[in-house]
Amino acid sequence: MYSSRIENLRQKLTDRGFDAILVVKPENQYYLSGFDGEGFLLIGEDRHIIFTDFRYVEEARDKSAGAEIIELKYKISPYEKIAQELQSMGAKKVAVEGHYITLKAYEEMKNFFAGIDILSAENMVEDLRTVKDETELNFIKKAQSITDRTFSHILDYIRPGVSEADIALEIEYFIKRSGADGIAFPTIAVSGPRTSLPHGKPSERKLQVGDIITLDFGAKFNGYCSDMTRTIFLGEVDEERERIYNIVLEAQRRAIECIKAGVHCKEVDNAARSFIEKNGFGKNFGHGLGHGVGLEIHEGPRLSPKGDTSLLPGMVVTVEPGIYVEGFGGVRIEDLVIVTDDGCIDLTQSPKDIICL
């Protein structure tokens, strides 16, 4: 698995005239080697090396079969050791993750990489990661199944007087207890007028009869994330909130129906956005329709008005239209889907019909 990913990356390096790539971003190191400690991954034409310190050497050997392991010493700059190996490879052009490394790290590289051109290869590994293989898809499916079970559990926990913070804590506890690595991102649990905050943080506000409640959360399994949002009601739902809910639900249905390999991301976004605009809430839907999910909760591709890339089979994306009205509340519904040649597979099994508790 890792060897094929490295070979795919090497082909990209060759196509762009690079002799090697230095991978610093943890998710990219894990994707290419299975190593999830702290360190650096150097990939050349016929060698790949993990540089790490004493704390992670044994772990690197256990998890990264086929990789050379070089132990870093705390008195020596890691870039000095990396430079020595680049020179032994005869590398003249090295790619770095220009979108991720710090200016300080770049300056230190320049100090040691004498005679070697340091060039940015933004998103080279991330582009490979957008299409998931079967192993990755199985991990994401497991993460989402835990997330669905968590939603069923939390419905029994919600009642008047419980705070948003209590709900978030219970979600996170149940996710971890269900076999996940942990949460995929900080849980969003907002209620009442605070549901107009797309990324509102859980507060000590206590639930009241008549509240809208928006829950956005996910699990992480073997490093891979899930993501879903449901909006529910405590008590009876009034006519206007029900109307907004149904607009969002129909917008999502149209977008999911539009998804298949070859479709541009902005077309999927427009399928939902145009319907929301037609119903008079265009200005209340201010974020993109969705994003890729994998080792990171937000990765490529992006479903947005600027999304000019095409969907490919094996991509995993969220579909999450929303309407947010300040002082009134908001509704968001989010599913996680796998792109296929002729459509998509919806991994989210939690109900989307209006739920009144």
Percent of the chain surpassing pLDDT 70: 100
Q: What is the mean pLDDT of residues 126-146?
A: 98
Asked whether residue 121 falls in the same domain as residue 157, the answer is: no
Task: Tell me which residue of 152, 164, 284 sits closest to 228, measured CA to CA.
Answer: 152
Contacts of 223 (CB under 8 A, 6+ apart): 27, 30, 36, 139, 181, 295
**Contact (CB, 8 A) for 140 and 293:** yes
Kindly provide the residue ranges of all beta strands, DSSP E only, lying in the chain, ordered along the sequence: 20-23, 40-43, 48-52, 68-71, 93-96, 117-120, 182-183, 188-191, 212-217, 219-221, 224-225, 228-233, 290-292, 299-303, 316-319, 322-325, 329-332, 335-340, 343-346
Asked whether residue 84 falls in the same domain as residue 124, the answer is: yes
Asked whether residue 250 falls in the same domain as residue 275, the answer is: yes
pLDDT tens-place string over residues 77-117: 999 999 999 999 999 999 999 999 999 999 999 999 999 99
Asked whether residue 158 falls in the same domain as residue 291, the answer is: yes
Q: What is the mean pLDDT of residues 175-181?
A: 98
pLDDT band at 308 (very low <50, low <70, confident <90, very high): confident
Identify whether 351 is part of a domain: no
pLDDT tens-place string over residues 186-245: 999 999 999 999 999 999 999 999 999 999 999 999 999 999 999 999 999 999 999 999
Asked whether residue 192 falls in the same domain as residue 110, the answer is: no
Amino acid letter, 140: I
Question: Where residue 62 sits, what CATH number does that domain have?
Answer: 3.40.350.10
The pTM score is 0.96
Identify whether 354 is part of a domain: no
Asked whether residue 106 falls in the same domain as residue 153, the answer is: no
Q: What is the mean pLDDT of residues 308-317?
A: 96
Q: Answer whether residue 65 shows pLDDT above 80.
A: no
Give the pLDDT score at 325. 98
The CA angle 36-292-225, to the nearest 5 degrees, is 45
Q: Which domain holds residue 115?
A: 2-129
Domain final position from 114, 129, 144 = 129
Percent of the chain surpassing pLDDT 90: 97
Amino acid letter, 205: R
Q: What is the mean pLDDT of residues 276-304?
A: 98
Identify whether 153 is part of a domain: yes
Q: Decide: residue 104, CB within 10 A, 0-12 exposed, 13-18 middle, 19+ buried.
A: exposed
Q: Answer whether residue 182 shows pLDDT above 80.
A: yes
Domain final position from 82, 100, 129 = 129
Give the pLDDT score at 158. 98
Question: Where residue 224 sits, what CATH number does that domain have?
Answer: 3.90.230.10
Report d(CA 142, CA 190) in Å as an integer.
26
Give the pLDDT score at 75. 84
Domain final position from 89, 107, 129 = 129
Q: Answer whether residue 1 shows pLDDT above 90.
A: no
Asked whether residue 329 falls in the same domain as residue 197, the answer is: yes
The DSSP call for residue 55 is G
Q: Answer whether residue 122 shows pLDDT above 90.
A: no
The CA angle 352-353-356, to the nearest 5 degrees, is 110
Query: Omega before 198 cis (within 30°)?
Result: no
Asked whether residue 184 falls in the same domain as residue 329, the answer is: yes
Looking at every residue in the chain, the average pLDDT score rounds to: 97
Identify whether 353 is part of a domain: no
Asked whether residue 88 falls in the same domain as residue 162, the answer is: no
Asked whether residue 143 falls in the same domain as residue 120, the answer is: no
Give the pLDDT score at 55. 95
The DSSP call for residue 207 is P
Identify whether 356 is part of a domain: no
Give the pLDDT score at 97. 96
Tell me how many domains the chain contains. Answer: 2
